Structures are given as C-alpha cells and as structure tokens.
Amino acid sequence: MRATIMALAALPLVACGGSGGGGVASIGSSAGATGGTATPTPAATPTPTATPTPTAPVATQANLFDVKTATTFDAVGAMHAMTVDKDGREMYTGNASTVAAPSGTISYDPRDGVFVLSLGDAKSGVTRDVTFQDPRHRTTSDPQDVERQVPLLAGFNYLHVLDGKVPLTFFYQRPNSSGAFVSLAGFERNERTDDGTTISEQGVLVFGSRSTALQTPTKGSARFDGQFLATMVMQQGGSPSVQQWLNGTSAVDVDFGKRSLTLALSGTVGPGFFKDAPITDAALTIPSGATFAATGSASWTAASTAFAGTFASAGFTSGGIAVPIDFTSVSAGTSSAGASSIDGTFYGPDAKNIGGNFRIVGGIPNQRVDIMGGFVGGKK
C-alpha cells in the first residue's frame, strides 16, 4: 500500500513525541522558493585567498595533525544556506563540491593549535573566513556551549566563536581507527538581522592528507568502515523548510583493480529546526529518531584517484513507515527532476583512509528535499 505523508503548514515549536502507522510514502524536492519574492542573498564576505596544495602524507606521520609546520588541507564540502525573511519568504542555495574544486580549506598550525576555516562557494551561498585563535574557542560538546542545532557526537572536538556578531560552531573528528589521515567535520551558523530575517548556514566538510597516485593500490580490494554526517532541508507543500542533522555509519567496498567502489550509509535523523527554533516531532514529515539508509557507487580513472558517482537508493523509516526519496533524474514519462552525487578520494600512506561528500536532491514537484553530507572510513 502506498500512502502520502504531508507536513503541517504551521509547525509547532519545541520537540515532543513521534509518529506511527504503516505503509509506504515518497518524498522529493522543488527547486523554487516558497511564497512571494525571494529575499535577496546577503552580501558575501571576500573570497579567501588561495592556499598551496597540501603535501602528501609520509609513512612516519601518526595522523593528519602530526605535522611540524602550519598545514593547509582542501575541504571537500557539501553546504547549504537558507534565508527566511520576516514574512516567511524563503531563499535556498546548496552545493556539493568536488575534489578538483573543493569548498575551501582548513588550516592547522601545530605551534599554537590554531585552526583557520576558509570557505568560498558561490553555489552554496556560503563564504566564511574564520580563525579559531583564542584557547577559549575550544569548547565541549554540551548544548549550552555550541549552537543548539549542532549534533553532539562522540570523538569530535568543538570550536565556538563569534563570526562578527554571529555565533559559529565548527566541529571535527579526532584521529581514530576510522580516519587517522582524514577528518569528518561540520559547521553551523545562524544569524537574525534587525528586520527579522534569519540566515542559517550548515555544512559538512572532509579534509586530510591525500594519497598520491603512487600510494594508491592498482589491484586487490578493501573494505573501509567509518562514519557519515549530513545536514538536510525538508519541505513539502506550503510548509516551511525544516533543517535536520543526520549521522551514522558508512561502509565502502573498493575494487582497486576495477577502480570502482560501493557506498552504504546507515544512520539516524536528528531534531528539526526552523529559523533556529525547534519543531515538534509530531509536525515533521521525518521526526527525530527516524532511520536513514542509502546505497550508491562510484569510480575513478587512471588519470586521477578522485572518484565520482551517484546513489541507487535512499530513504527513511519512521514508525514502521518506509519513506523512499524519489530522486529520479529528468526523463520521459515522469515529472521527477532529482539528482544525486558522490565525490571523494583516498587519504594517508597506502590509501589507508577514504573520504568524500555526497548530495541527494529529491525530485517531486512542490517539495524541497536536499541532503548534504560527508563520509570517512578506515581500511579493514
């Protein structure tokens, strides 16, 4: 049996209980903004100055942060921005970058422990240049110490700073068995202007010490297990666009001889927010605690170790209801106009780690579903 799940037009605030029932529903996306003339995009700050390409990892390194001098890493990111004016009119922008054209850079100086986050992605509408220099920028993963939408994850470090007058939280994965030479990171920034407009920016970044072509095997196979992190915007009909974080596990099976791989993601959906205010689970199409799963594949050529691909399936399960995402691309016989992408590369000596970003864009008219994420893994 196939049913349709509709989000409520008016979303009650403050989280509460979940949903139930059985059946199957489908969700997708609409590229258009909801209601009236879109709010103009805020003036962007200058694009960060380009930095040198990071050097390849060496066998004596313990992890990506085990460096002697300031080091800059390319940030392969998936980011989006949502502007909502005082009348509820929305403007949304998003983009998942590629290895060849990253979202920006992340720099680390071992002498003073300073991180610099430099992002410049016109397609996503996100441009930031933030230095985490004060030791007090380092904080704990407590709700009162970070932006309230930020997921509180084990094994991550958190940095919190005022970007101008607006709080910004940046969090990154510490080196571990699933990523000694690659890190999974995220950021959250929520601004409210004097006229009542809100500007919310979220993103997932993957950065690390990239493997060279000579460090990447040309035969054999390997399994990489690790984590994924994603940020989702969900909107159906005339309801507002709700933002939710997702996180869970990733599994990548690589055939180096065929230069191909398969990716499987499995995780959980977090609480919903609109204009930086929490939304009750009862009002959400996909409530917090719902599960998420997706599978895809990618490949690379002899000229580069950067792989690219697409998803074959993606969807949620909530209260016994299977909710597949219809991201069918433009074709004859259907009104769906969705899309998906997977981009990444290998990290560390002998390609010990893998990492990349992904995007899933729902295609059903009059809906907005956009999932931006990243994944990392360690060779088993």
Q: Name all domains of the chain by residue range, CATH numbers in brackets.
A: 71-379 (2.40.160.90)
Structure tokens at 328: 């069918």
- Residue 19's pLDDT is what? 36
Q: Based on C-alpha coordinates, what's the Rg of the chain?
A: 20
Pseudo-torsion of CA 223, 224, 229, 232, nearest 10°?
-30
Short-list 206, 155, 180, CA closest to 62: 180
pLDDT in tens, 312-331: 999 999 999 999 999 999 99
What is the average per-residue pLDDT within 276-305? 95
284: pLDDT strictly greater than 50: yes
Q: Rounded to 5 degrees, what angle do the CA atoms 192, 196, 202 make? A: 35
Mean pLDDT of 268-296: 95
In the structure, what pLDDT confidence band is assigned to residue 4 with cuts at 50, 70 and 90? very low
Closest CA to 156 of 167, 145, 164, 165: 145
For 213, the token pair is: 């072509």
Model pTM score: 0.86
Q: What is the pLDDT of residue 27?
A: 60
Averaged pLDDT of the chain: 87
Q: What is the pLDDT of residues 339-373, one digit of tens each?
A: 999 999 999 999 999 999 999 999 999 889 999 99
Q: What is the pLDDT of residue 323?
A: 93
The CA angle 294-264-24, to the nearest 5 degrees, is 25
Determine the pLDDT at residue 366: 86
pLDDT value of residue 55: 59
Lowest-pLDDT range, 39-53, 103-117, 282-296, 353-367? 39-53
